[in-house]
Amino acid sequence: MDWQAITARIEAAVTPHIGTGKVADYIPALARIDPTKFGMAIVLGDGTMVTLGDSHEPFSIQSISKVFTLSLALKHYGENVWDRVGREPSGSAFNSIVQLENEKGIPRNPLINAGAIVVTDMLVARSGAQAFEAELLGRFHRLSGDDSIAVDEEVAESESATGSRNRALAHFMAAFGNMANPVEQSLGAYFRQCAVRMSCRQLARAALFLAFDGCDPINREQLVTRENCRRINAVMMSCGHYDNSGDFAYRIGLPGKSGVGGGILCIAPGHGAIAVWSPGLNASGTSMVGAIALEELVEATGWSVFV
Amino acid sequence: MDWQAITARIEAAVTPHIGTGKVADYIPALARIDPTKFGMAIVLGDGTMVTLGDSHEPFSIQSISKVFTLSLALKHYGENVWDRVGREPSGSAFNSIVQLENEKGIPRNPLINAGAIVVTDMLVARSGAQAFEAELLGRFHRLSGDDSIAVDEEVAESESATGSRNRALAHFMAAFGNMANPVEQSLGAYFRQCAVRMSCRQLARAALFLAFDGCDPINREQLVTRENCRRINAVMMSCGHYDNSGDFAYRIGLPGKSGVGGGILCIAPGHGAIAVWSPGLNASGTSMVGAIALEELVEATGWSVFV
Amino acid sequence: MDWQAITARIEAAVTPHIGTGKVADYIPALARIDPTKFGMAIVLGDGTMVTLGDSHEPFSIQSISKVFTLSLALKHYGENVWDRVGREPSGSAFNSIVQLENEKGIPRNPLINAGAIVVTDMLVARSGAQAFEAELLGRFHRLSGDDSIAVDEEVAESESATGSRNRALAHFMAAFGNMANPVEQSLGAYFRQCAVRMSCRQLARAALFLAFDGCDPINREQLVTRENCRRINAVMMSCGHYDNSGDFAYRIGLPGKSGVGGGILCIAPGHGAIAVWSPGLNASGTSMVGAIALEELVEATGWSVFV
Amino acid sequence: MDWQAITARIEAAVTPHIGTGKVADYIPALARIDPTKFGMAIVLGDGTMVTLGDSHEPFSIQSISKVFTLSLALKHYGENVWDRVGREPSGSAFNSIVQLENEKGIPRNPLINAGAIVVTDMLVARSGAQAFEAELLGRFHRLSGDDSIAVDEEVAESESATGSRNRALAHFMAAFGNMANPVEQSLGAYFRQCAVRMSCRQLARAALFLAFDGCDPINREQLVTRENCRRINAVMMSCGHYDNSGDFAYRIGLPGKSGVGGGILCIAPGHGAIAVWSPGLNASGTSMVGAIALEELVEATGWSVFV
């Protein structure tokens, strides 16, 4: 690959769009982010790191954390995870409650809010909120080689303060017996994981194992089984972008997960992991410029899984 | 690949399940199919054809036809297809009308009934019902090398006679201005394409172009652009199995499309096309034994796009 | 009652609002009605007829016909009517199809389109479309003493030509086995009954039996049983104005039924029947000025059933 | 009225059904009620009290409290009540959350849980939870002449302990800005009002003002305006029995409100107030035997508002 040409091509593609989209503004810490930020990091199996723009600047990973939490849950609970959450696309917005009523408190998949709350609830039930957070951050530290990755306390508090809709989801699932802990306990852990700050470099590095059968190709740690790795990617492909997942698969053709902080994580199986960040979102909460950058990358590399 | 070992492995996996699931019984021609039938055909890029069981026996392809109709529509209309149909998973059953009301007559994707009716309506509007059917069958004849592939007239008539729900979908879309022809005209063409009979060998062969960038690797015909090929596969991955699409991606990890006749078509990009047939269906209308066979194939070959 | 004072009061109340609301425009015959029309007729048990404005001008009764069709169905089928249609408010628009899917083809009540189509289908199954229409018109002729009351053929044709949504409802119910006749046959009868033209005087007179235990107080014809009369009024109160029924009960407090032609029929049990007409509609398809006139009438007479 | 004959008739009608239906069992205090209990009290405008069975035995009024809370809100807030809650039947179960999502946190009416929580929230915002409860109980004491009417503390605590679904509703509304107080504060007041214990005699007596233009005919206290009285009755008619309201209007034809404790309150405008109690419920949470008793009463007295 001629990475210099590829990054130049991506840069040319995104430049006219920098600043477009709507920055999340439901909490101050997100609302005040400079909308013209753009960063991207591509990590390959041999550790090569290709970067663009603000790739070292930490941002709030938000819902991208759901992928890592799911991988922990599959490690600890295996197929039992699916007793409490489905793996079908929801066809609706990230925080919809309608489906929960029709399907008796079982969320459609682990990458919408309700599903991620249930997955967090499992992990909190297993070892407590602190141990769960320690395990999650431990992975980030180990894989990214940076022990400073942490929860942004201001964001975590704001998430909780504005979290009425997530509270509604959690109490609703509790009404169907699908919460193992007191709602506030699991919600607290959920809000904190969403508030982790990482840079594109760190995020791509931390997810590299998902491109290589669950085994980090650099430090050789097997983080999930080969089978579960494949499955996590499948769930990301089907459900990673709420009611925009089909369009993302159509345009980009890689398993991915977006966050309202403007980050997108993508996995190119057998090739590498990509993290991109730009705060302006489309109507479904996916970074507009981030998606354009990924589209260009896929076009240039032929990494789509659908070729 | 040691195809002898692989087919033995698949045979061992499916044997205990032969006859399970529920055969479609809404029309006599489907209801009377022997539930213990099982056939499979894997076609590779060099034309190698690996088969199991009743791979040469024709069956009703039903909704698998939607993939071929979509490929014709993308060829003739390009991106304009998406003005009249979405590309998001529906999260609901194949014949649900609820989403149509909420989204003003625009079906979620071209692989549910409403969406395929709209796509057919486009093609009928372009050249008439007969020319559309001739083009579709012409492709089948050319690619499969068998001019006897045809519409099963008994099935087509039964589909129309029992088609109240599809009529409701079509009239509902007409109410929102999303039908270009009289409803019965487009429905007639739709019912006929669903009633085409093909064997696993023919079906896999006819779809081989989708595994090779839209170009049939044997006769070198470019049937859709490379870009549209990728996109068709993406839509199959997201939406190919109604409210079971996420589960199919999770278990099998290949773009696919099921039909209530018991057939499943799968694309392994860069490797080949697979057709499997066994009449017993799960609750979402996907062949139970067919899915097991595909799961085993993917396990044995490593063809999942998510590895 | 000082009817002179009451009519003066109503006139004063409606005058500032004449011409407000949106005239139905989905068919030409309705779209070209003068929006400033206003008529009202109050018929008492002794035959006294109090009128205002254009009370003798015929208009398209549209959905008001559903009340009379229901009374015929209850006469001929009794409680069996409720095997095929419910009697609960729908909480949604007049032509919504969502509820039909959730409740397996049984419409919520006989005063929404789907429900009235089913009721018509019953009556057509019993005696044929022509006999049904003859019975309905016969009642109108006999009670109003005017044999010229008839279906407006232009309107009936336009209804059919633009009836995609009603076709969708009918085919959808057929898919659940809830249509006894071919869809077009029952729909034809349905469209024709909606296209009957009557004046406020005729309409109020024809409905007088509903204010007096099912027995017309002038000609002594018992049109429905006392029990069914009470029940028809109950259904009108609960369901007579689509998703506006609660508001109508709140403001006016009388059983009523609106039509998109701008008519409203109201029953004041023990007192009389009222028909009002003014073409401008609110968002739920109820005549805006008509509702104001009724509100004032109820205020002046104390006829609300909730006092 | 020959009340002796009427009560005998009611008794004969209910006897074969005593014990039918399903007693609410989500909290112990309700689950342990003797299912064969039956009481009824009819209070007339002159203070005459006609009773049957266990008419003096206190029971948990549950959702019947919503009528009294609404009357307080209309007194204090007038038409502004309707800025935060609708007055349309919901067409769905008492605790459905689906409608709330579609209608942006505005509950359909004040007699479903979400609506009553909003109404309570208004009253708590006005004067605090304690003052609200004091005002509510004060009315009960004054009208029923019994100062011992109180909240059942065990029931109130159980309601709160099992109140996940109501918590979900409240947090969901908070997410749309439709809660003025912290969720737990208003929910606490809501749970307590549902836990008030009253007998049929007390309940009928306390609601007598609703049958007489808002003015208690015995002690002459005007509790709501004549207009608001009429409107409360209209809302009870349209919405008093969740997705069973249409059927109740059809069968009984009086404004009413049911509670899962097995009580039903009915208003016969101009005649009197009726309270009936029997713990076995139908699928929509209305007392089965209670409804039969009311049906018989209405048949015997001709009190239906639809005659």
**Containing H/E element for C118?**
helix C113-144
d(CA D197, CA B281): 55
- Residue A220 pLDDT level (bands cut at 50, 70, 90): very high
Radius of gyration, CA atoms only, chain C: 18
Instruction: Judge whether residue A99 has pLDDT over 90.
Output: no
CA–CA separation, C217 and C229 (whole Å): 14
CA distance A88 to B248: 9
Chain D interface with C: residues with Cβ < 8 Å? 86-92, 99, 108-109, 213, 226, 229-231, 233-235, 237-239, 243-247, 249-250, 253, 255, 269-270, 304-307
Q: Is the ipTM of this complex over 0.85?
A: yes
Chain D residue with CA closest to A26: the answer is D175
Cβ atoms of D63 and D116 closer than 8 Å: yes
Query: Which residue blocks in D263-302 are alpha helix, DSSP H?
Result: 288-301
Q: Is the dihedral of CA C175, C177, C179, C185 positive or negative?
A: positive
The one-letter amino acid at A304: S
A interface residues, D as partner, C-beta within 8 Å: 96-98, 100-102, 164-165, 167-172, 174-175, 183
Range A3-301 classified under CATH 3.40.710.10: yes
CB atoms within 10 A of CB D282: 17
Taking the C-alpha atoms of residue B47 and residue C80, their distance in angstroms, rounded to an integer, is: 64
B171 contacts on C by Cβ (under 8 Å): 164-165, 167-168, 171
pLDDT at B92: 73
Q: Tell me if A95 is assigned to a ligand binding site.
A: no
Please name which of B108, B166, B156, B109 lies closest in space to residue B133, comparing C-alpha atoms: B156
Is D159 part of any known ligand binding site? yes
Q: What is the mean pLDDT of residues D255-265?
A: 98
Question: pLDDT value at position B154?
Answer: 97
Q: What is the pLDDT of residue D13?
A: 98
**Residue C32: per-residue pLDDT:** 94
Q: Do residues D84 and D126 make contact, with C-beta atoms less than 8 angstroms apart?
A: no
pLDDT band at B103 (very low <50, low <70, confident <90, very high): confident
- CB-CB contact of C59 with C33 (8 Å): yes
**In whole angstroms, what is the distance from residue C286 CA to residue C281 CA?**
5
pLDDT of residue B255: 98
A-chain CB neighbours of B226 within 8 Å are: 307
Residue D17, pLDDT score: 97
**What amino acid positions of C are annotated as catalytic residues?**
63, 66, 190, 242, 260
Tokens 């682990």 correspond to what residue?
Answer: A110
Residues in chain D closer than 8 A to C226 (CB atoms) = 307
Residues 6 or more apart whose Cβ sits within 8 Å of residue B172: B97, B100, B101, B105, C97, C164, C165, C168, C172
Q: A286 is written with which tokens?
A: 């996916």
pLDDT at residue D192, as a whole number: 98
Cα–Cα distances (Å) from D1 to B190, D13, D48, D300, in that order, read 68, 18, 12, 9
Burial class (CB in 10 A: 0-12, 13-18, 19+), C161: exposed
Give the list of residues 6+ apart from residue B170 with CB closer than 8 angstroms, or none. Answer: B114, B117, B179, B183, B186, B187, C168
**Helix C183-194 and helix C65-77, axial crossing angle in degrees, nearest 10:** 130
Model confidence at B95: pLDDT above 80: no
B67 within 8 A of B238, measured Cβ to Cβ: no
pLDDT at D37 (0 to 100)? 98
Of A101, A168, A174, the CB nearest to D175: A168
DSSP string of A140-196, one letter each residue = HHHHHT-TT-EE-HHHHHHHHHT-HHHHHHHHHHHHTT--SS-HHHHHHHHHHHHTE
State how far the Cα of B134 lies from the Cα of B72, in Å rounded to an integer: 12
Dihedral angle of Cα B77, B81, B83, B86, to the nearest 10 degrees: -170
Rg (C-alpha) for chain A, rounded Å, is 18
Q: Is the pLDDT of residue A302 over 90?
A: yes
Per-residue pLDDT at A101: 84
Locate all alpha helices (DSSP H) within D217-287, ordered by sequence: 226-239, 245-251
Proportion of chain B above pLDDT 70, given as a percent: 100
Chain B: residue whose CA lies nearest to C105: B165
Tell me how far apart the alpha carbons of residues A276 and A289 are, in angstroms, rounded to a whole number: 9
Residues A23, A33 contacting (CB under 8 angstroms): yes
CA B155/CA B28 separation, integer angstroms: 8
Contacts of residue D300, defined as CB under 8 A and 6 or more positions apart, other chains included, come to D5, D6, D9, D10
Report the C-alpha gap between B174 and A237 in whole angstroms. 33
Q: Which of A26, A90, A96, A97 to mutate to test the interface with D (most CBs of D within 10 A)?
A: A97
Query: At residue B243, does pLDDT exceed 80?
Result: yes
Q: Is the dihedral of CA D256, D257, D263, D265 positive or negative?
A: negative
- Closest in C229, C233, C306 to D234, CB measured: C306
Residue D250 annotated as catalytic:
no
Strands (E), B5-164: 39-44, 49-53, 59-60, 150-151
Chain A interface disruption, residue of B70, B88, B100, B296, most A CBs within 10 A: B88
pLDDT tens digits for range A125-135: 999 999 999 99
Which residues pair with residue A198 across a beta bridge?
Answer: A59
Instruction: Give the residue among A201, A197, A200 at the shortest CA–CA distance from A151.
Output: A197
Q: Residues A106, A108, A113, A116: is their CA dihedral positive or negative?
A: positive
Q: What is the mean pLDDT of residues D151-167?
A: 96
Give CA–CA dist C189/C24, Å, rounded: 21
Look up B26 and say whether it is catalytic.
Answer: no
Residue numbers in B near C114 (CB within 8 A):
none
User: How far apart are alpha carbons A230 and A224 in whole angstroms?
Assistant: 10
Please state the rounded mean pLDDT for residues D92-114.
Answer: 86
List the A256-258 sheet strands across, edge first. A49-53, A39-44, A272-277, A263-268, A256-258
Alpha helices, H only, chain A: 3-14, 28-31, 65-77, 98-102, 113-127, 129-144, 153-161, 164-175, 183-194, 200-206, 226-239, 245-251, 288-301
Look up the pTM and report it.
Answer: 0.94
The tally of CA atoms less than 13 A away on the side-chain side of residue A84 is: 26
Among candidate residues D43, D55, D65, D66, the one labeled active-site is: D66
**How much is the pLDDT for A210?**
98
Q: Which residues of chain C have pLDDT under 70?
A: 94
Chain centre distance of CA B166: 17
What pLDDT is stored for residue C91 in this prediction?
74
DSSP-based three-state secondary structure for C278: coil
Active site residue A127: no
